[in-house]
Structure 1
Amino acid sequence: MTTATPVTASSATVLAEAGRRRTFAVISHPDAGKSTMTEALALHAKVISEAGAVHGKAGRRGVVSDWMEMEKARGISITSAALQFSYRDCVINLLDTPGHADFSEDTYRVLSAVDCAVMLLDAAKGLEPQTLKLFDVCRYRGIPVITFINKWDRPGRNALDLCDELGERIGLQAMPLTWPVGDAGHFRGVLDRRGGHFVRYQRTAGGATAAGEEHLPPSQAEAEEGANWTRASEEAELLGASGGEFELERFLNATATPVLFGSAVLNFGVRQLLDLLVEIAPRPTARLDAAGDPRELDTPFSAFVFKVQTGMDRAHRDQVAFARVCSGVFERGMVVTNAATGKPFATKYVQQVFGQQRSTLDTAFPGDVIGLVNATALHVGDTLHAGKPVVRFPGLPSFAPAHFAVARPADLSRSKQFRKGIEQLESEGVVQILRSLRRGDGAPVFAAVGPMQFEVAAHRLDAEFKSPVRLEPLPYTVVRRLADPKQRSIVDGNRTEVLTRTDGVDLALFPDSTALGVMRRLHPEVRLESLVAGTDD
């Protein structure tokens, strides 16, 4: 068998380059301004000259991270996107995630590839249901979180109340580094708590360009802003007395969160966020493999695939596997090994990604996200390595689905394209694909966390494979793993069904919890186990 070709670089070079990387995700509840913030960060880094943050506004471009037609039409992010750019002396790997709860599985995968998260809160709404779920995921993975309270240019809640909510509802101590001068909706600027000065922002036309800043000493701020400055100063002192002073260790161990105030659509406070990421966001560190052993940064190349995407380039329906580099140096053209199959994988076509725009990438270091083109042999969760084998990095979770539908080709003459499209959606994890002998391969069952995943799957089958699909909803709401395949005939009945997932796991589907209870009462010997994100326990 062909062996992987290790690429070597001095430990000092790898460690120095890894130290320059900042890899983070932007996460939030839908409509909190996530894609707008993504563009605002790129704007302040001067990698784009004008933001297109307002969807549907005449004469404005769509955001660079929202490239799918459905995203542009609906004005929401429904798939994650990667952007890489330089800022100061650092390399920024920014992952924009879908905010909608129906796509939480995609968000979870992205969070496995980052070292830090920026959580956006809507100033008027504070912590929302999806925000709470995302904080739980970050806590579970030990990911440090920076909180940006967005939309301060609009009417909203009291700043102190929003900070108190972080501690009361999710147990994170708020450590504000900036404090708003002026109520929500009457944004004057921020008090920089570390420097003690006033940062006053200057509006630009529609927020399309980076906002200017004016830095004023406290005495001048008091003279010009009066009661607004006085109140901000008093509240900042109160925060300090109540444990709100910044401590780097508390941020890194994910027990406290730095807080910034601003407005992404106006580019207010965005530079402060970008600078803070450069200063305090964790650098890449050794990643544990599935056996719990660390893969040190300066060992030979290793990476894991956290996302597979097709159709980013409409001229070439190629497939891109996004991988997070975990150790060593990657060089285009090297041959690596897929730990899942033991087979070599050539990396002739690898790209650096900026939204939908792509350019050839020659070298990458720990923390970087690389796009492997035409990677049809790679799947979400695969580990790649050169040199010393990796036991494999921990696999990524399959969430417990809550919605099910039988998929059939609307045009039988397009059955071949239908099957090819199903294989593609399956490899990307757009929906889970379940099969059974009862239904056959021609009628797979789509399983999804949320119903909007069905819309995305149907749209892509039609748009990319010219195979319109009919979806027939199934009446199941409860799913359990069938631990013993020999018990399949007991469960597979008139009102219940057993389907097999791609990874070979048998899933027992029930119309409701009552039906599950009846099955357990009549057949206590049947082993039905809950599905938990990350493990099937």
Structure 2
Amino acid sequence: MSVVADRQQSQEVVGEAARRRTFAVISHPDAGKSTLTEALALHAAAITSAGAVHGKGERKGVTSDWMEMEQARGISITSAALRIDYGDCVLNLLDTPGHADFSEDTYRVLSAVDCAIMLLDSAKGLESQTLKLFEVCRARRVPVITFVNKWDRPGREPLELLDEVEQRIGLRPAPLNWPVGIAGDFRGLVDRATGRYTKLYRTPGGATRAVEEDIDPEQAGEVEGQEWVQATEELDLLGEIGAHFEEESFLAGESSPVLFGAALPNFGISSLLNTLVDLAPAPGDKPDAHGGARPVSAPFSGQVFKMQANMDKAHRDRMAFLRIASGRFDRGMVLTHGATGRPFATKYTQAVFGSERSTVEDAYPGDVIALVNANALSVGDTLYTGPKVEFPAIPSFAPEHFAVCRAKDASRYKQFQRGIAQLDAEGVVQVLSSEVRGEQAPVLAAVGPLQFDVVTDRMAQEFNAPIELAHLDYTLARRTDATCAPAAHALSGAEVLKRRADGELLVLIHNKYRLRVIKRDNPDLVLEPLLAGGTEPDE
């Protein structure tokens, strides 16, 4: 490629990267995250009708929930990537599991986004899982936009919710709009910057976009009466306490723009989309593993943040989701696999919209592409062109539940081995082993017990290798080294196993009280926390 052509391509990449907004939605279970995902896609005209998590009548289930277990239980189990064109921008929405038991998948996804929407239930406010995920965002310096959901249902006072955000997580709230009408009597929204009042009208079942009507502020008082008076008084109070948006503070993770709405009837979704376009950061230079930074204009590079198998049952494929860090991707280009140095072909690269797929011809920094038949890839792997690129590893979260796994049918042992290896590579669970237990009885380590249900279901359905689990009485895992492993293994209430994915030695311990005693009696024993975003069980 000539110097002129190379310069033109670099300019093209920078311009395309500036159009991208890559973000995730984080929340506590049942805060309405999957419903919000559908509402965003609906308002961006990516779909024509939205389905609630539990589809009603002829309405389908949520687009992003493609697994049978997700559709049957009405929860999100695995993350999904949705690409949405909105105006001149490309929105890459990484939907994540809301249930706490699948939070490790969420932590991996947060390594691939530039911004997060923190979804709060208007009645419940900040909940435990939301707090955990926010701490991960803080550790990764991911700026957060707050969306107060379910304002069409009875809930708390808006000022009370803002105070809770500031007091509990130290994030200064800066409301961009304000609700007219208390929670449960949602009339409309006032834009703080323009003073414009938008009255909202519900559509049947919330399956299509809500009808919005702009009303002159002077006329709004006549239309809404006392609710308008209360809203204007609260807006005056916000001005007096200086609750204004500051971009520098937002990008530094010190403040959060706040919007109100209701995802199910599609109230306030347009404001959220416009806020994402206007305020969420575009992809920037990505830190590498050696303290430098990879410019978006550099030759192609990207990192695998998620593995998923058998999304298409007809083909039984294995798909790697890769976030592009730099350069332009063109279908068919041959990349270098950082872990092995071997070439990796990209002829069948796809974009995934829930369970639907389409072929990707080109993509840019911030985009998420799905590499098909990616049997050689694992979470954290780097792909690139040109000189070698290495990005920081994506850490695993500390498991709190453990179970010995065995095949019910010894004649299906090969299928059992293949299935356990694949689920380990995907990150569905962490797989541990030891010489004492043997390869026929690996120990599965999970953040939450529902992960074991996923493993049991997939082993039976996909690999025809039904399993039985024997739960272990451990609740903590700590990292040790080969020198300390024999002494740690000899301790009462502890066991040393090796993590298959990276070969690290982990000490499983009954509980935090036993951990304290072990540390007190064995001060020289190496017992390091397994950090992921700075979160660990209390010691």
TM-score class normalised by the smaller sequence? over 0.9
Matches of 1:506 and 1:370 in 2, distance apart? 33
**Residue in 1 aligned with 2:151?**
152
Q: What are the superposed Cα offsets for residues 495-537 of structure 1, whole Å, 9 maximum, x if unpaired?
A: 4321000211111122234444454455444322222226999
SS of aligned partner of 1:526: coil
Q: What are the superposed Cα offsets for residues 37-87 of structure 1, whole Å, 9 maximum, x if unpaired?
A: 000000001111111124142322010000111111111111110000211
Deviates more, 1:162-171 or 1:299-308: 162-171
SS of aligned partner of 1:465: coil
SS of aligned partner of 2:238: helix
Supply the AA of the counterpart residue of 2:469.
L
Matches of 1:56 and 1:211 in 2, distance apart? 19
**Residue in 2 aligned with 1:477?**
475
Deviates more, 1:131-140 or 1:519-528: 519-528
**Residue in 2 aligned with 1:90?**
89
**Residue in 2 aligned with 1:278?**
277
Supply the AA of the counterpart residue of 2:25.
V
Give 1:104 shift: 1.5
Aligned CA distance change for structure 1 residues 514 and 121 (closer, same or farther; 3 Å): closer
Matches of 2:236 and 2:372 in 1, distance apart? 53
Q: Give the conservation status (yes or no) of the 8 Å contact 2:132–2:535.
A: no
Matches within 5 A, 1:320-331: 320-331=319-330
Matches within 5 A, 1:294-373: 294-373=293-372
SS of aligned partner of 1:183: coil
**Residue in 2 aligned with 1:427?**
425
Q: Give the conservation status (yes or no) of the 8 Å contact 1:306–1:396.
A: yes
Q: Give the conservation status (yes or no) of the 8 Å contact 1:7–1:329.
A: no
Supply the AA of the counterpart residue of 1:488.
A
Matches of 1:395 and 1:54 in 2, distance apart? 34
Aligned CA distance change for structure 1 residues 189 and 207 (closer, same or farther; 3 Å): same
Q: Percent identity?
A: 60
Aligned CA distance change for structure 1 residues 265 and 101 (closer, same or farther; 3 Å): same
SS of aligned partner of 2:462: helix
Matches of 1:354 and 1:389 in 2, distance apart? 31
Matches within 5 A, 1:44-63: 44-63=43-62
Supply the AA of the counterpart residue of 1:445.
V
Give 1:135 shift: 1.2
Matches of 1:185 and 1:520 in 2, distance apart? 52
**Residue in 2 aligned with 1:31?**
30
Supply the AA of the counterpart residue of 1:438.
V
**Residue in 1 aligned with 2:172?**
173
Matches within 5 A, 1:376-391: 376-390=375-389
**Residue in 2 aligned with 1:291?**
290
Matches of 1:266 and 1:301 in 2, distance apart? 41
Q: Give the conservation status (yes or no) of the 8 Å contact 1:7–1:386.
A: no
Matches of 2:512 and 2:195 in 1, distance apart? 57
Question: Number of aligned pairs?
Answer: 530
**Residue in 1 aligned with 2:250?**
251
Supply the AA of the counterpart residue of 2:108.
R
Q: Give the conservation status (yes or no) of the 8 Å contact 1:406–1:445.
A: yes
**Residue in 2 aligned with 1:440?**
438
Aligned CA distance change for structure 1 residues 54 and 385 (closer, same or farther; 3 Å): closer
Q: Give the conservation status (yes or no) of the 8 Å contact 1:56–1:75.
A: no
SS of aligned partner of 2:405: strand
Matches of 2:229 and 2:62 in 1, distance apart? 38
Matches within 5 A, 1:167-206: 167-206=166-205
Matches within 5 A, 1:435-474: 435-474=433-472
* 1:230 and 2:252 correspond: no
**Residue in 2 aligned with 1:137?**
136
Give 1:430 shift: 0.5
**Residue in 2 aligned with 1:3?**
none
**Residue in 2 aligned with 1:209?**
208
Deviates more, 1:320-329 or 1:339-348: 339-348
Moved over 6 A (4+): none
Select the residue among 389, 412, 415 that pairs with 1:414.
412
Matches of 1:387 and 1:70 in 2, distance apart? 42
**Residue in 2 aligned with 1:122?**
121
Aligned CA distance change for structure 1 residues 8 and 443 (closer, same or farther; 3 Å): farther
Aligned CA distance change for structure 1 residues 536 and 117 (closer, same or farther; 3 Å): closer
Select the residue among 455, 477, 491 that pairs with 2:488.
491
**Residue in 2 aligned with 1:103?**
102
SS of aligned partner of 2:81: strand
Matches of 1:186 and 1:504 in 2, distance apart? 56
Supply the AA of the counterpart residue of 1:490.
A
Matches of 1:365 and 1:173 in 2, distance apart? 33
SS of aligned partner of 1:67: coil
Q: What are the superposed Cα offsets for residues 457-511 of structure 1, whole Å, 9 maximum, x if unpaired?
A: 111111111111100001112322122x133332224643210002111111222
Deviates more, 1:132-141 or 1:510-519: 510-519
Structure 1: which 5+ runs fail to align? 1-5
What TM-score, normalized to structure 2? Answer: 0.95
**Residue in 2 aligned with 1:501?**
499
Give 1:139 shift: 1.0
Tell me the C-alpha RMSD between the 2 structures.
1.7
Q: Give the conservation status (yes or no) of the 8 Å contact 1:462–1:469.
A: yes
Aligned CA distance change for structure 1 residues 303 and 221 (closer, same or farther; 3 Å): same
Q: Give the conservation status (yes or no) of the 8 Å contact 1:402–1:450.
A: yes
Supply the AA of the counterpart residue of 2:487.
I
Q: Give the conservation status (yes or no) of the 8 Å contact 1:191–1:233.
A: no
Matches of 1:338 and 1:257 in 2, distance apart? 38
**Residue in 2 aligned with 1:18?**
17
Matches of 1:258 and 1:332 in 2, distance apart? 38
Deviates more, 1:524-533 or 1:503-512: 524-533
Aligned CA distance change for structure 1 residues 525 and 224 (closer, same or farther; 3 Å): closer
Supply the AA of the counterpart residue of 2:174.
M
Aligned CA distance change for structure 1 residues 513 and 185 (closer, same or farther; 3 Å): closer
Matches of 1:119 and 1:343 in 2, distance apart? 40
Q: Give the conservation status (yes or no) of the 8 Å contact 2:83–2:352.
A: yes
Give 1:132 shift: 0.9
Supply the AA of the counterpart residue of 2:215.
L
Matches of 1:53 and 1:9 in 2, distance apart? 45
Supply the AA of the counterpart residue of 1:492.
H
Q: What are the superposed Cα offsets for residues 381-409 of structure 1, whole Å, 9 maximum, x if unpaired?
A: 0011101221x111101111111100001
Give 1:339 shift: 1.2
Matches of 1:476 and 1:267 in 2, distance apart? 44
